[in-house]
């Protein structure tokens, strides 16, 4: 659950331009998000000549740090999730970056401008039913609702008199789940999924350094580093076709939208699952193996959306992680149909990289809708939402924003979503993420086109560290093969 245009934001972290279409490369890496940047830099640091092709005009993929307000904000991935065995956290620590923990401090508001019982809401939000996972697995919403009702019946029977609060609190819990999973509804998510948390705090912020620092470190550009001489990076270079060789003596050919093409012994494809869903039938010269096609179809790619507003100065209470919006049923009924999306905004979050900004979070189909609406409508409706829930309760008038940003991860043709999650079909396809990771082999059984990205991580999908792990995984597979290490076995890759 670990959600990122200016090249200058990345400290000019672009290596010298490629030598041209006929340049000799050992490996071509397609996509420079967390997985691609990890793979490219690991190989380059090991002495391999690497060409990285990135369709966008920046490095980072679904990490996108931007200057905004009086500091930096993240349009995509926001936090490091865990500090135990975390590549992202380890690199930050190694370079003396003082990351900051953002502990959960929830401040709830109702849609009529009142405050609910804060302690009670915090207690209910903190309930964790994961130790009682059902067997067989079932939809998260169904399971949590059942366990929640059992809990309040036993521990808070008086609350049963307020059915409106129960209904709307469960809807808030639905939105909270969706913003963690990138799902549209918590009944689309399966209990007992394969995701595993890293140990330690789950919300560690890069704050004023920005998540961009992770990429600067990998590219050896942090603190004005010299970069990596073995790595050439071409931005604004969309790959349209990957020609997989069949004969061992043939090279991989990568064709680009601008008419250029490049060849190498191997290629690592790190495009998002959303892009694979949209383009896999045309992106590769040969149809992908049936199992890989099945995985692309069956694994879900979700959307988390952000609307970020800056103000002249902060007007909200300090030391809060999330201002939670819990509707009243009658208020929700009076919302016009065209404004339904405003009822599906989880709340407002003050990011740690800027002191005068608020991020409003949404997800699923509503996040897609918010990407398409006119900017002025989104801005005005979000201000009205802040006024309704917070301004009235705090007895202030929410000021006019000084700036506006929003994410467009679904409309972006190079991402087509935020990250993957385990849907209700996941138990039927337990090997789907492994299938996504399998490379394409030549006639001699050698991997020639390899795959990385968060969706190919069986345990740490949906996170920056999980994506980075897969980039390292594929780089190490190639290096093992090149070195002739006895632990390398091509049979591991056969479908």
List domains and CATH numbers for the chain.
7-63+206-301+415-493 (3.50.50.60)
What is the C-alpha to C-alpha distance for residues 268 and 282, in angstroms, rounded to an integer?
Answer: 17
Helix (H) / strand (E) containing 395: none
Give the pLDDT confidence score for residue 485 in this predicted structure: 61
Closest Cα partner for 481 from 466, 493, 468?
493
Give the pLDDT confidence score for residue 14 in this predicted structure: 35
Whether the CB-CB separation of 228 and 220 falls below 8 Å is answered with yes
Tokens of 318: 């300090």
What is the C-alpha to C-alpha distance for residues 491 and 259, in angstroms, rounded to an integer?
Answer: 36
The single residue listed with the structure tokens 């069956």 is 298
Question: Which residues have CB under 8 Å from 363's CB, separation 6+?
Answer: 175, 178, 179, 182, 183, 184, 302, 303, 304, 305, 344, 346
Each as own residue / partner, the long-range contacts of residues 116-121 (CB below 8 Å, 24 or more positions apart, any chain) are 116/165, 116/326, 120/156, 120/159, 121/169, 121/324, 121/326
Helix (H) / strand (E) containing 405: strand 403-406
Bridge partners, 30 (sequence order):
53, 269
Residue 340 dihedral angles phi and psi, to the nearest 5°: -50, -35
What is the C-alpha to C-alpha distance for residues 313 and 234, in angstroms, rounded to an integer?
Answer: 39
Q: Is 478 exposed, middle or buried (0-12, 13-18, 19+ CB in 10 A)?
A: buried
Give the pLDDT confidence score for residue 112 in this predicted structure: 96
What is the C-alpha to C-alpha distance for residues 354 and 248, in angstroms, rounded to an integer?
Answer: 53
Q: Angle CA(309)–CA(312)–CA(316) in degrees, nearest 5? A: 70
Instruction: Classify 301 as helix, strand or coil.
Output: strand
The beta strands (E) that lie in 133-243 are given as 204-205, 231-234, 239-243
Whether the CB-CB separation of 204 and 99 falls below 8 Å is answered with yes
Whether the CB-CB separation of 260 and 23 falls below 8 Å is answered with no
What is the C-alpha to C-alpha distance for residues 193 and 175, in angstroms, rounded to an integer?
Answer: 19
Question: Which residues have CB under 8 Å from 67's CB, separation 6+?
Answer: 6, 9
DSSP type of residue 388: I
What is the C-alpha to C-alpha distance for residues 106 and 102, in angstroms, rounded to an integer?
Answer: 11
Instruction: Say what the alpha-carbon torsion angle 407, 408, 414, 418 is, to the nearest 10 degrees.
Output: 70
Q: How many CB atoms lie within 10 A of CB 84?
A: 11
Helix and strand counts by DSSP (H, E) for the chain? 14, 21
Question: Which residues have CB under 8 Å from 262's CB, separation 6+?
Answer: 18, 21, 23, 25, 28, 51, 53, 253, 254, 256
Give the pLDDT confidence score for residue 13 in this predicted structure: 34
Q: How many CB atoms lie within 10 A of CB 159?
A: 17
Burial readout 92-112 (b: 16 or more C-beta within 10 A, e: otherwise):
beeeebebeebeeebbbbbbe
Q: How many CB atoms lie within 10 A of CB 400?
A: 11
pLDDT under 50: residue ranges of the chain? 1-22, 486-488, 490, 493-495
């Amino acid at each position: 659950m670990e959600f990122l245009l200016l090249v200058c934001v990345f400290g000019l972290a672009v290596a010298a331009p490629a030598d041209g279409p006929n340049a000799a490369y050992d490996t071509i890496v397609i996509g420079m998000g967390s997985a691609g940047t990890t793979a490219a830099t690991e190989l380059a640091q090991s002495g391999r000549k690497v060409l990285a092709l990135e369709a966008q005009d920046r490095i980072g993929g679904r990490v996108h740090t931007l200057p905004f307000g009086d500091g930096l904000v993240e349009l995509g991935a926001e936090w490091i999730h865990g500090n135990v065995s975390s590549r992202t956290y380890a690199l930050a620590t190694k370079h003396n970056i003082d990351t900051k923990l953002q502990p959960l401090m929830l401040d709830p508001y109702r849609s009529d401008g009142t405050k609910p019982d804060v302690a009670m809401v915090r207690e209910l939000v903190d309930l964790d039913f994961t130790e009682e996972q059902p067997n067989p697995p079932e939809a998260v919403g169904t399971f949590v609702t059942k366990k929640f009702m059992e809990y309040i019946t036993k521990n808070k029977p008086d609350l049963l008199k307020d059915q409106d609060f129960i209904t709307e609190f469960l809807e808030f819990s639905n939105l909270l789940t969706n913003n963690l999973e990138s799902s549209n509804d918590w009944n689309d998510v399966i209990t007992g999924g394969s995701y595993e948390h890293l140990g330690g705090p789950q919300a560690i912020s890069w704050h004023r350094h920005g998540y961009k620092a992770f990429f600067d470190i990998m590219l050896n550009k942090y603190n004005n580093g010299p970069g990596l001489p073995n790595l050439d990076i071409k931005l604004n270079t969309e790959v349209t076709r990957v020609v997989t060789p069949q004969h061992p003596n043939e090279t991989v050919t990568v064709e680009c939208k601008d008419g250029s093409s490049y060849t190498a012994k191997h290629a690592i494809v790190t495009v998002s699952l959303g892009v694979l869903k949209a383009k896999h039938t045309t992106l590769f010269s040969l149809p992908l193996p049936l199992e890989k096609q099945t995985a692309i179809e069956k694994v879900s790619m979700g959307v988390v959306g952000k609307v970020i507003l800056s103000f002249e100065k902060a007007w909200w209470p300090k030391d809060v992680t999330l201002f939670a919006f819990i509707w009243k049923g009658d208020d929700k009924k009076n919302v016009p149909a065209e404004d339904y999306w405003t009822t599906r905004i989880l709340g407002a979050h003050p990011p740690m990289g800027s002191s005068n900004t608020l991020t409003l979070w949404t997800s699923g189909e509503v996040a897609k809708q918010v990407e398409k609406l006119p900017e002025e409508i989104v801005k005005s409706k979000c201000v009205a939402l802040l006024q309704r829930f917070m301004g009235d309760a705090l007895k202030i008038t929410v000021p006019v924003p000084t700036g506006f940003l929003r994410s467009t991860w679904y409309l972006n043709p190079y991402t087509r979503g935020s990250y993957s999650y385990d849907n209700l079909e996941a138990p039927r396809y337990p090997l789907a993420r492994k299938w996504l990771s399998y490379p394409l082999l030549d006639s001699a059984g050698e991997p020639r086109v390899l795959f990385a990205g968060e969706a190919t991580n069986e345990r740490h999908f949906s996170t920056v560290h999980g994506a980075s792990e897969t980039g390292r995984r594929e780089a190490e597979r190639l290096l093992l093969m090149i070195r002739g290490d006895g632990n390398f076995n091509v049979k591991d890759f056969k479908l």
